[in-house]
């Protein structure tokens, strides 16, 4: 029984070496996708198409290799998101010989003339793996994405837009290595409404000005400069009012509870200077985004803690100020827990868009002896129309403040 030969086709037969061709010409049975087999219609070898039923193809190969010389044609490089690893596992490494070739990712970056040693490669071929893309983007990585007809460039662009990655640019490389090869760059909004030929590969990059890992922090940082989930960020204008209500001073400790993207933490870090900001968040994806943002703005006095509130506060340094960016159904318990650690004359600021939480925040703070106040902030953003501008209303936000009276003590 001869080992099965797996031949990497690269992008097209033009990438085959003399050795590759000799092995293919000597085959009794050629196995591969219909497009690859069509390149060798003139050879005498029996042809067997691999379709979606990989298990049936493996059974066929096992039966034929007992008496026949079997060669499997793989697109790109067999061991780079290819069939090679599947066959090695199914047949055993001793029954497989692999002859590598150029991968489509290597070819893609050669086409755009950029290095790819630090690129994150993600496959959406027959799977959903958006989280891997988001994690890589949040770390400032360029991402190469294998697609399929279901996970095509338009649908991927739509999902990225919904997740808050509008600042990306997408390169779509269609039919690489063929006579109809097409390569172009698109903004996500444009790509989301287009149709692209198959097969294709994507490259996702931060746009100019966004792909710089380091940025200078300042008050009023544009929302788009933060990695964040769409809508889950304290907007710049709301941030400004919230920070004013916190009355931050150098050397203080601020707890940012339910930190989201960390936007409040990073701007607050400028005001407490040699103090400390503790960004507490439960969601793992948002933790990754906060860490990326902290690194991007070099906010060295921000610590990131993953915890499900109201738990996880006892191990933190006692706060002088507490910011709560919502709190959900547990808002009352979170306020009570945070207040139990708050310094004398400390301040709690709660942001919410939910009317029940306005009442919950004011009543809970008042019951704990805080002097409370509330302001509603309504922001309208200008939007360009064909011949003029209009104002577009944003969601109103209630900002509830509570100042601990000095006679209340620390609450410990």
DSSP string over 163-207: TT-TTEEEEEEESTTSTT-EEEEEEHHHHTT---PSSEEEEEEEP
Q: Given 3.65.10.10, 3.30.950.10, 3.40.50.300, 1.10.1200.10, which CATH number is that of 105-206?
A: 3.30.950.10
The closest of 353, 330, 332 to 238, measured between CA atoms, is 353
Mean pLDDT along residues 247-276: 96
pLDDT band at 346 (very low <50, low <70, confident <90, very high): very high
Residue 53 neighbours by CB under 8 Å, 6+ apart: none
The closest of 392, 393, 381 to 353, measured between CA atoms, is 393
Rounded Cα gap, residues 118 and 46, in angstroms:
42
Rounded Cα gap, residues 407 and 400, in angstroms:
21
Whether the Cβ atoms of residue 302 and residue 255 lie closer than 8 Å to each other = no
Domains 4-102 and 105-206 share a fold: no
Token duo for residue 9: 């086709």
pTM, rounded to two decimals: 0.53
* Residue at token pair 């868009």: 353
Token duo for residue 372: 């409370």
Chain-wide mean pLDDT for the chain?
91
**Share above pLDDT 90 across residues of the chain, in percent, rounded to a whole number:** 71
pLDDT band at 406 (very low <50, low <70, confident <90, very high): low
Rounded Cα gap, residues 100 and 103, in angstroms:
9
Mean pLDDT along residues 369-373: 96
* Residue at token pair 């959406």: 124
Rounded Cα gap, residues 122 and 158, in angstroms:
17
Express each pLDDT in 203-253 by its tens digit: 999 765 444 456 788 999 988 888 887 777 999 999 999 999 999 999 999
Q: What is the per-residue pLDDT for 370?
A: 97
Residue 128 neighbours by CB under 8 Å, 6+ apart: 151
At the second CATH level, the architecture of 4-102 is 3-Layer(aba) Sandwich (3.40)
In the chain, where the domains are located: 4-102, 105-206, 223-408
Q: Does residue 329 or residue 265 have the better pLDDT?
A: 265
Fold adopted by 223-408: Rossmann fold (3.40.50)
């Amino acid at each position: 029984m001869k080992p099965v030969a797996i031949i990497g086709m690269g992008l097209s037969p033009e990438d085959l070496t003399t050795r590759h061709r000799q092995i293919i010409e000597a085959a009794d049975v050629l196995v591969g996708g219909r497009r690859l087999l069509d390149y060798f219609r003139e050879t005498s070898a029996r042809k067997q198409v691999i379709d979606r039923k990989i298990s049936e193809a493996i059974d066929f190969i096992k039966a034929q290799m007992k008496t026949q010389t079997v060669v499997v044609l793989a697109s790109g490089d067999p061991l780079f998101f290819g069939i090679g690893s599947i066959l090695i596992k199914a047949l055993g490494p001793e029954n497989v010989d692999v002859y590598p070739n150029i991968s489509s990712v290597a070819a893609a970056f050669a086409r755009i003339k950029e290095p790819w040693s630090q690129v994150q490669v993600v496959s959406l071929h027959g799977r959903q793996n958006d989280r891997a893309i988001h994690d890589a983007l949040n770390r400032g990585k360029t991402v190469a994405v294998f697609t399929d007809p279901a996970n095509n460039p338009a649908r991927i662009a739509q999902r990225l837009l919904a997740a808050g990655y509008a600042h990306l640019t997408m390169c779509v490389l269609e039919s690489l290595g063929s006579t109809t090869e097409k390569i172009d760059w698109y903004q996500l909004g444009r790509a989301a409404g287009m149709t692209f030929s198959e097969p294709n590969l994507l490259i996702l990059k931060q746009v100019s000005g966004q792909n710089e890992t380091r940025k200078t922090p300042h008050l009023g940082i544009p929302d788009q400069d933060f990695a964040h989930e769409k809508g889950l960020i304290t907007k710049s204008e709301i941030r400004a009012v919230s920070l004013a209500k916190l009355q931050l001073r150098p050397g203080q400790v601020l707890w940012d509870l339910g930190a989201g993207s960390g936007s409040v933490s990073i701007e607050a870090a400028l005001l407490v200077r040699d103090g400390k900001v503790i960004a507490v968040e439960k969601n793992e994806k948002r933790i990754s985004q906060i860490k990326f943002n902290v690194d991007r703005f070099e906010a060295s006095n921000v610590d990131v803690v993953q915890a499900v509130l109201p738990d996880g506060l006892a191990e933190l340094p006692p706060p002088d100020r507490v910011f709560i960016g919502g709190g959900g159904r547990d808002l009352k318990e979170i306020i009570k827990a945070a207040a139990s650690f708050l310094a004398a004359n400390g301040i709690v600021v709660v942001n919410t868009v939910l009317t029940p939480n306005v009442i919950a925040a004011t009543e809970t703070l008042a019951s704990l002896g805080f002097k409370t106040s509330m302001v509603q902030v309504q922001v309208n953003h200008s939007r360009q129309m064909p011949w003029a501008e209009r104002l577009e209303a944003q969601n109103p936000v209630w900002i509830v403040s509570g100042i601990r009276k000095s006679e209340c003590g620390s609450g410990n």
